[in-house]
Amino acid sequence: MDDFAANLRLLCGYHRSIAEVCRRLEVNRPQFNRWLAGQYRPSRHHFRRICDFFGVEEHEILLPAAAFADLVQVRARQWGTATDTPRPEAAHLARLAHTGGDGMERFLGSYLETYLSMAYPGQILRTLVTLTRRDGGVYYQRTERVQEAPGQKPLHGLYLGVAHMLGDRIFLNDYETLTGLEITQTVLIPTFRNRVVRLHGLRLGGAGRWDRVPVCARVVYDYLGRTIDTRRALRLCGLFAMTSPAVPDDVRQAIGNEIPAGDWHLKARG
């Protein structure tokens, strides 16, 4: 499933947008996003249509992601994409992927991410972030579970990104997969103790409101471990009032966005 999802994302990259792919496949976007995230596998009917649309065989799209990427490069000209001239950023991204994975091994696993919500001012947002190593790089998934009012069905958001360790700092860059309208960056201060317990940093993104104002907030990552009960962890996520007992006092203090007198910028704590 992971290889299929990665291969499907790669194929979508050869088109103008995921929305265009969904429209031409006549598939609704939420369903397609679940395939991209590896949560579900398409039905036999949709699986055949996907392969026909992208011009690949059924056994090919199930290949390991690295092998499929090599295959796609050979066929890219069929989709009107020249591969003999690499995109300008390709060399820089390859260098970053090569150097940024060093030192990340001890930080792999799942975290509860807590910060003052950008979309819901005055409330605390807690999400689940999982970092894994794959194909020589470190990738992660951020899952949001937001219940705007009691009794309402929770809303879910999914961010996918890549992590790098550069100059004793952890840089996380991701995009929101459901709408494709947001990229966020988080910079964390790694701990050099024997055990990873908590990481502090800053998160930069756009508030999920009509005005889309860029916002920066202090963030705390509490380590859960490499193997967790995902459903149980997600039940700990959501929106919380500033005085909620579900948020420990030390976390509430760590994510406060006050700027002390004499400081000119919002700085990470820790």
- CATH code where residue 152 lies: 2.40.128
User: How long is the chain?
Assistant: 270
Q: Specify if 269 maps to a domain.
A: no
Q: Specify if 97 maps to a domain.
A: no
* Same domain? 73 vs 110: no
The answer to whether the CB of 130 falls within 8 A of the CB of 110 is yes
* Same domain? 73 vs 141: no
* Same domain? 184 vs 58: no
The count of structural domains within the chain is 2
* Same domain? 33 vs 125: no
* Same domain? 119 vs 248: yes
Q: Specify if 22 maps to a domain.
A: yes
Pairing of strands 109-116, 214-225: antiparallel
* Same domain? 112 vs 237: yes
Q: Specify if 148 maps to a domain.
A: yes
Q: Specify if 178 maps to a domain.
A: yes
* Same domain? 118 vs 240: yes
* Same domain? 169 vs 237: yes
The answer to whether the CB of 198 falls within 8 A of the CB of 211 is no
* Same domain? 168 vs 229: yes
CATH code assigned at 54: 1.10.260
Q: Which two tokens stand for residue 190?
A: 């790694």
Q: Specify if 218 maps to a domain.
A: yes
Q: Specify if 134 maps to a domain.
A: yes
β-bridge mates for residue 115, sequence order: 125, 219
Q: What is the pTM of this model?
A: 0.68
Q: Specify if 195 maps to a domain.
A: yes
Q: Is 206 helix (H, G, I), strand (E, B) or coil?
A: strand
Q: Which two tokens stand for residue 61?
A: 């799209």
* Same domain? 136 vs 64: no
Please state, as a whole number, how many other Cβ atoms lie within 10 Å of the Cβ of residue 4: 20
C-beta pairs of 137-145 under 8 Å, 24+ apart in sequence: 137/97, 137/100, 137/101, 137/162, 138/100, 138/101, 138/104, 138/108, 138/162, 138/163, 138/164, 139/163, 140/172, 140/174, 141/37, 142/113, 142/174, 143/234, 143/237, 144/237, 145/234, 145/237, 145/238
- Per residue of the chain (270 residues), what is the pLDDT tens digit? 788 999 998 888 877 788 888 888 888 999 999 999 888 889 888 888 898 888 788 888 988 888 888 787 766 655 554 444 556 766 677 677 766 777 889 999 999 999 999 888 899 999 999 999 877 788 999 999 888 777 778 788 889 999 999 888 999 999 888 767 788 999 999 988 888 999 999 999 886 655 678 999 999 999 999 999 998 999 999 999 999 999 999 999 999 999 999 999 999 987
Find, among 111, 114, 144, the residue nearest to 228 by Cα.
Answer: 111
Query: Which residues form the domain of 151?
Result: 105-254
